[in-house]
């Protein structure tokens, strides 16, 4: 055998559930520094004057519009950002309830505990 432990028996393998795949997509989306920066720039609520369109984000990040569009697509597919159309532009914001839900799922799946407060 090469390279480590043998694979688990077929009876112990289980296919990835849609919930597991969706959970993992958020890790993939947030595992890239440009996407983390986008998440920090976008507002937490769909407030018109605070949201960014793709061109505004591209200017802010110093990147080309297609690159920013690609990153936004990944974040949207992971369920972390939402968009609203206004006239001829699409504006983006963080889907705060979805992010909070994902963070609670991280805590639940990995057994993380809140630090105890000293009285």
pLDDT, tens digit, 9 for 90 and up, residues 38-71: 999 999 988 888 889 999 999 999 999 999 999 9
Q: Which stretches of 17-64 are DSSP H helices? A: 18-30, 33-41, 54-61
**pLDDT at position 100:** 93
Does residue 19 lie in a domain region? no
pLDDT tens for each residue of 3-44: 666 666 655 666 778 888 888 899 999 999 999 999 999 999
Based on DSSP, count helices (H) and strands (E) in the chain, helices before strands.
Answer: 5, 3
d(CA 54, CA 66): 9
Q: Which domain does 72 fall in, by range? A: 25-109
Indicate the number of domains in the chain: 1
pTM for the complete prediction? Answer: 0.78
Does residue 12 lie in a domain region? no
In the β-sheet with 89-94, what is the strand arrangement from edge to edge?
A: 52-53, 89-94, 81-86
Mean pLDDT for the stretch of residues 78-93: 92
Mean pLDDT for the stretch of residues 74-98: 93
Mean pLDDT for the stretch of residues 74-78: 96
Q: What is the CATH number of the domain that holds 89?
A: 1.10.10.10
């Amino acid at each position: 055998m090469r390279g480590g432990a043998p694979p688990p028996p077929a009876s112990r393998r289980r296919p990835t559930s849609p919930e597991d795949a969706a959970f993992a997509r958020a890790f993939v989306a947030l595992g890239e520094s440009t996407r983390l920066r986008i998440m920090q720039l976008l507002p937490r609520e769909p407030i018109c004057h605070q949201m960014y369109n793709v061109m505004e984000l591209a200017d802010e990040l110093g990147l080309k519009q297609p690159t920013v569009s690609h990153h936004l697509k990944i974040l949207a597919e992971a369920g972390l950002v939402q968009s609203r159309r206004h006239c001829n532009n699409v504006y983006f914001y963080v889907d705060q309830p979805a992010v909070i839900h994902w963070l609670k799922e991280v805590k639940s799946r990995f057994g993380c505990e809140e630090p105890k407060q000293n009285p």
